[in-house]
Structure 1
Amino acid sequence: RCQHGGKVKEFYQRLYLKKGAKKSIIATSRKMIEVLYVMIRTGKLFDSMPENILNRKLTQYGLM
């Protein structure tokens, strides 16, 4: 799990207060799938965290 809540967590929590758990999970899943599709189509990384944290994680997993 990510310690840095991020945009997706904020999106889920905002919806949870209005719509409840089930609809929030579906809406958040759909949003994540849309982001993944755009990442695959464009070949770009999703920019949801500060660059220094992203670089550390990429290095940790041997992707950089």
Structure 2
Amino acid sequence: MRESHIMKIHYLTALLAVALVIVHVMVRVVQGFSDSLLFDNVVANYQFIPYAILLEAILVL
């Protein structure tokens, strides 16, 4: 694979990671930061499968 293709993949991955972090921050802003730190809300985040997948994708990327 040529270096230009590798760099395109690298940039695309970076943009995807930034987009996922933006979604995560927007969820925190909408919910309220102090409310998002409550234990019940943290547990609810991981019980909501799409959001749990988003958090795992942020960790992987």
Specify if TM > 0.5: no
Higher share of residues assigned helix: 2
Structure showing greater radius of gyration is 2
TM-score range, shorter chain: 0.3 to 0.5
Higher RCO, 1 or 2 (CA under 8 Å, sep at least 6)? 2
